[in-house]
Amino acid sequence: MRVSHLLAGVALAAFAFVGAASAASMSGVITGPDGKPFKGAFVQVRNAAMHMTVSVLSDRDGKYLAPDLPDGEYRLSIRAPGFKGDPKGGVKLAGAQAETADFALKKGEVRWADLSIQQGEALMPDHKGKDMLFGLCMACHGFQSRMASVSRDEDGWRDRVNYMRKDMGFFVSDPRFGLTDQKAEEVVQYLASMFSEDSILPKSPTELPKYKDVARSFSDDASKIVYVEYEMPGGNRMPWSAKPDGKGSFWIPYYGKANKIGRLDPKTGHVDEFPVNFTGTALIHSAVPAPDGTIWLTEQGANQIAHLDPATGKVTEYGDGLRKHTAVVDPRTGMVWSTGGLTRFDPKTEQFEAVKSVPSSYGISLDKDGNAWFAEMVSNGKIGKVDAKSGDVRKWSLPTVTGTPRRIVYNQADDTVWFAEFAAGKIGHFDPKTESTQEFVLPGPKATPYALGVDRDGMVWYSSEHMDVIGKLDPASGKVTEYPTPRPENSMRDFFLDDQGHMWFGSPPNDRVGYFYVRK
């Protein structure tokens, strides 16, 4: 069965793909309450018919440019924590039309929901339940959209915590991670003290003396970033990523309770949705196109992999009792590798082969020969390689023993390996020829690199889970440029490069997928 969703019910077949030379643009100048040019405001240009938003930043002169806009009607709004600007709607664009709109900002208020996880953790008071909340619950999402944006009494928060333990499961239902009944109640008490009518927090975090210590600024180069986002059909999708299939579509695993995966056509905003068979909470972590046009996915909540035929909607699920996390497909053989407990699945025989010496793994990437490179996200984690022919495993220790390597990318341009050290706040680079490792220290108080990708120019991109930024590392110079994200709690999990050089991502708490690039 296939469920189809056409955003706004309109097929926009007449316009070219976003990025075409003939597309329209919006530009203008942002000024602050003092009348001077305002740097660092996001101008968000939304096409309602496509449920698509383009977000760009104002530069040091207050100027912004939203390029490559397809035909349609747009609404412009401002996101600048602590400030507000009146939105402008009914802007119609067609062809190569260039329109302008200026904004004069007024003084507003910084909300707790505007902060990053790192800022919230630094500013929110110590209390029973805080360590569990930030150390465990925020493995999958932050506090901004689900906590700071709402107000509940103690019973209301208890209901939400119980929901997470029962229906979402994973970390919060596993006694090994410590969320016992007592610990859960401590989390409830903490949430009620933070986000209720009786909150002990000031209305705005700017009222705290420590706020100035956690506020961050960005370089002039950051103003050139462009984000293009697409909204999902519903509010419970939690899209983990968006992977291109080489035919113009992008496949999206839903980590929420929807138990579906989506297929996005970015030319129209059309999203097809395909349900899986599992009736519990599947927690779909990967949706990976195979060369034959079918899709392989991992159901982390069910410890299964699954195979989807998009033509018929038929889903077949397979399990071997081991944890399932991230999947990749070997384009030459069709073999499906998945992490958790590292395994290789043969679609012809429908048999799993477990790599017993790798019982716990996270990121995975294949090299030119189909060998599987993996990262062990544990306190003394290593990176390693499984030889696709012999099955032999080699592992390499890292200079930072407690770095906890997470995502890993094999760069076929130079046959080297990049990996993100989440706990250490570093990006690692491994050369298999010399078996040498170089580490790059990332800026900020809690860099926590998660999503990882290498672009066509060899630049290494990462997302900071706790600081709500993305960063670009130039390997030649070691320079890192940080870019703010257009919404709080971005929670990007994976980066995938498309054939136009755009880096695609999912933002689970915001129920959006999209891509970013830097304007020339």
Q: What is the pLDDT of residues 313-330, one digit of tens each?
A: 999 999 999 999 999 999
pLDDT for 174 equals: 61
The full DSSP string for 377-388 is -STT--EEEE-T
Per-residue exposure over 41-54, b if at least 16 CB sit within 10 Å of its own CB, e if not: bbbbbbbbbbbbbb
The pTM assigned to this predicted structure is 0.93
pLDDT band of 175, cuts 50, 70, 90: low
Q: Per-residue pLDDT averaged across 256-283, rounded?
A: 95
pLDDT for 156 equals: 96
Structural contact between residues 464 and 484, judged by C-beta atoms closer than 8 angstroms: no
Quote the CA–CA distance of 93 and 28 in Å, as a whole number.
Answer: 15
Q: Per-residue pLDDT averaged across 476-495, rounded?
A: 96
Helix (H) or strand (E) holding 214: helix 211-214
Q: What is the pLDDT of residues 401-457, one digit of tens each?
A: 999 999 999 999 999 999 999 999 999 999 999 999 999 999 999 999 999 999 999
pLDDT for 451 equals: 98
pLDDT for 121 equals: 96
Mean pLDDT of the chain: 92
Structural contact between residues 517 and 501, judged by C-beta atoms closer than 8 angstroms: yes
pLDDT for 17 equals: 40
- 278 pLDDT more than 80: yes
Quote the CA–CA distance of 97 and 72 in Å, as a whole number.
Answer: 11
Structural contact between residues 114 and 211, judged by C-beta atoms closer than 8 angstroms: no
Quote the CA–CA distance of 313 and 326 in Å, as a whole number.
Answer: 22
> Distance of CA 163 to CAs 152, 168, 236, 299, 375, Å?
14, 7, 14, 19, 31
**3-107 topology per CATH:** Immunoglobulin-like (2.60.40)
Task: Tell me which CATH code domain 233-518 carries.
Answer: 2.130.10.10
Structural contact between residues 268 and 12, judged by C-beta atoms closer than 8 angstroms: yes
Share of the chain above pLDDT 90, in %: 85
- 347 pLDDT more than 80: yes
pLDDT for 428 equals: 98
pLDDT for 6 equals: 34
The encoded tokens of residue 454 equal: 């290498």
pLDDT for 520 equals: 87
Angle formed by the axes of helices 154-163 and 181-194, to 10°?
Answer: 130
Length of the chain: 520
Residue with tokens 């958790």: 340
Structural contact between residues 166 and 129, judged by C-beta atoms closer than 8 angstroms: no
Structural contact between residues 225 and 489, judged by C-beta atoms closer than 8 angstroms: no
CB proximity list for 199: less than 8 A, separation 6 or greater: 151, 193
Look at residues 493, 165, 168 and name the one whose alpha carbon lies nearest to residue 326: 493
pLDDT band of 173, cuts 50, 70, 90: low
Comparing 383 with 5, the larger pLDDT belongs to 383
Q: Per-residue pLDDT averaged across 38-46, rounded?
A: 98
- Reading phi first (left if > 0) and then psi (alpha if -120 to 50, else beta), residue 444 is in left
- 292 burial class (0-12, 13-18, 19+ CB within 10 angstroms)? exposed
pLDDT band of 234, cuts 50, 70, 90: confident
pLDDT for 379 equals: 82
pLDDT for 377 equals: 93
Q: What is the pLDDT of residues 238-257, one digit of tens each?
A: 999 999 999 999 999 999 88
- 10 pLDDT more than 90: no
pLDDT for 171 equals: 59
- 21 pLDDT more than 70: no
The secondary structure of 45-80, three-state, reads EEECCCCEEEEEECCCCCEEEEEEECCEEEEEEEEE
pLDDT for 137 equals: 79
Q: What is the pLDDT of residues 118-169, one digit of tens each?
A: 999 999 999 889 988 888 877 778 899 989 999 999 999 999 998 888 776 6
The full DSSP string for 397-441 is --SSTT--EEEEEEETTTTEEEEEETTTTEEEEEETTTTEEEEEE
Structural contact between residues 305 and 297, judged by C-beta atoms closer than 8 angstroms: yes
Amino acid, single-letter form, for residue 323:
R
Sorted by where each begins, the domain ranges of the chain are 3-107, 112-214, 233-518
Structural contact between residues 506 and 242, judged by C-beta atoms closer than 8 angstroms: yes
